């Protein structure tokens, strides 16, 4: 029965997400335009390169990588920083804090509903389209399983980073600034804008040392390799697991320390 309360939160999240059908529709259109632009941009880029393979990636590799990174982004974006920032500003956060559940699990399970809806509305269709359009460029085998495990770890890391950044809003109330900084850093250093394989040397090493690459680069590189070495899989997933634990620990610690000094504007 312990799970019942979590599942009902998730159900509420699903219903809430489905309420905004027009929003979902516009989001799909927006992603479509983005995909069109990415396709033509990289086609032009590869056409000017003169070779088919650049940094070990072909045009279709790059395209699949970027398209799926966008789809992963759309599916994992839970607007937690906005939500937290706004509820801290308005004081609505007190209502959540009074609930017989930690804030962390409350927001996780509530957002899980949105994530599930977005998985079926954005990620799955995009994945299927890419699969059909590229005709077999995505290997279908055991790598799908590694990919699934990796995505779950990605969701966890992304959630912890969001929660950490959201907690900063307790100190500054500058939601817009904090959120935009997080988004920019995550999108660039995770390889969602340009695959990490293209990064020049010092930048690449730096990006690999940070937790952000575990969000998009790790699952996508596992997906795109047909028969990965067991050591590579272990290393990628192990790294993700470590980051998942580290970010979770930090965000929890930061949240607990910050909770002591929370000031709520009425409410």
Q: Does 30 bind other proteins (CB under 8 A)?
A: yes
Q: Does 43 bind other proteins (CB under 8 A)?
A: yes
Between 118 and 157, how does the x/- string for binding to other proteins read (CB under 8 A)?
A: ----------------------------------------
Q: For other proteins, how many residues bind (rule: CB under 8 A)?
A: 40
261 touching other proteins, by CB under 8 A:
no
> Under the criterion CB under 8 A, does residue 220 sit at the interface with other proteins?
no
Residues 6+ apart with CB under 8 A from 109: 6, 7, 9, 10, 13
Of 24-32, 94-102, 128-136, 251-259, which segment contacts other proteins by CB under 8 A?
24-32
Q: What b/e readout covers 246-267, taking b as 16+ CB neighbours within 10 angstroms?
A: ebbeebbebbeeeeeeeeeeee
Q: Taking CB under 8 A as the rule, does residue 27 contact other proteins?
A: yes
Identified binder of other proteins from the candidate list 15, 49, 133, 210, rule CB under 8 A: 49
Q: Assess 8 for contact with other proteins (CB under 8 A).
A: no
Per the CB < 8 A criterion, the answer to whether 138 and 87 are in contact is no
CA distance 76 to 156: 10
| Contact by Cβ (8 Å): 252, 237 | no
Q: Is 34 in the site for other proteins (CB under 8 A)?
A: yes
Q: How far is the CB of 138 from other proteins (least distance, A)?
A: 23
208 near other proteins (CB under 8 A)? no
Please report, for residues 19, 51, 116, 151, the alpha-carbon distance to residue 76 in angstroms, rounded to integers and kept in the order given: 19, 34, 9, 10
Residues 6+ apart with CB under 8 A from 38: 63, 66, 67, 70
Q: Residue 13 burial (CB < 10 Å; 0-12/13-18/19+)?
A: buried
Q: What are 99's strand-pairing partners?
A: none
Q: Between residue 169 and residue 188, which ones bind other proteins under the rule CB under 8 A?
A: 172-174, 176-181, 184-185, 187-188
Contact region with other proteins (CB under 8 A), list: 116-124, 141-149, 199-207, 240-248: 199-207
* Interface contacts to other proteins, rule CB under 8 A: 20, 22-23, 26-27, 29-30, 33-34, 36-37, 40-41, 43-45, 47-49, 54-55, 172-174, 176-181, 184-185, 187-188, 193-194, 198-200, 203
């Amino acid at each position: 029965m312990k799970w019942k309360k979590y599942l009902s939160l998730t159900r509420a999240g699903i219903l809430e997400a489905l309420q905004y059908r027009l929003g979902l529709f516009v989001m799909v259109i927006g992603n479509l335009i983005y995909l069109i632009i990415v396709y033509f941009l990289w086609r032009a880029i590869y056409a000017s390169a003169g070779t088919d393979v650049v940094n070990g990636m072909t045009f279709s590799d790059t395209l699949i990588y970027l398209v799926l990174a966008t789809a992963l982004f759309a599916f994992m974006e839970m607007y937690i920083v906005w939500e937290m920032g706004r509820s801290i500003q308005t004081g609505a956060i007190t209502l959540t804090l009074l609930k017989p559940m930690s804030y962390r699990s409350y927001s996780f399970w509530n957002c899980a509903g949105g994530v599930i809806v977005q998985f079926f509305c954005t990620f799955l269709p995009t994945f299927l389209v890419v699969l059909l359009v590229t005709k077999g460029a995505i290997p279908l085998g055991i790598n799908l399983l590694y990919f699934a495990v990796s995505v779950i770890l990605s969701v966890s890391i992304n959630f912890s980073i969001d929660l950490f950044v959201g907690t900063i809003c307790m100190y500054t109330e500058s939601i817009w600034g904090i959120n935009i900084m997080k988004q920019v850093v995550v999108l660039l250093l995770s390889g969602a804008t340009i695959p990490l394989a293209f990064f020049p040397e010092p930048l690449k090493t730096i990006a690999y040392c940070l937790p952000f690459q575990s969000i998009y680069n790790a699952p996508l590189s596992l997906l795109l390799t047909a028969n990965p070495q067991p050591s590579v899989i272990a290393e990628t997933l192990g790294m993700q697991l470590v980051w998942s634990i580290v970010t979770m620990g930090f965000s929890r610690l930061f949240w607990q320390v910050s909770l002591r000094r929370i000031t709520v504007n009425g409410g």
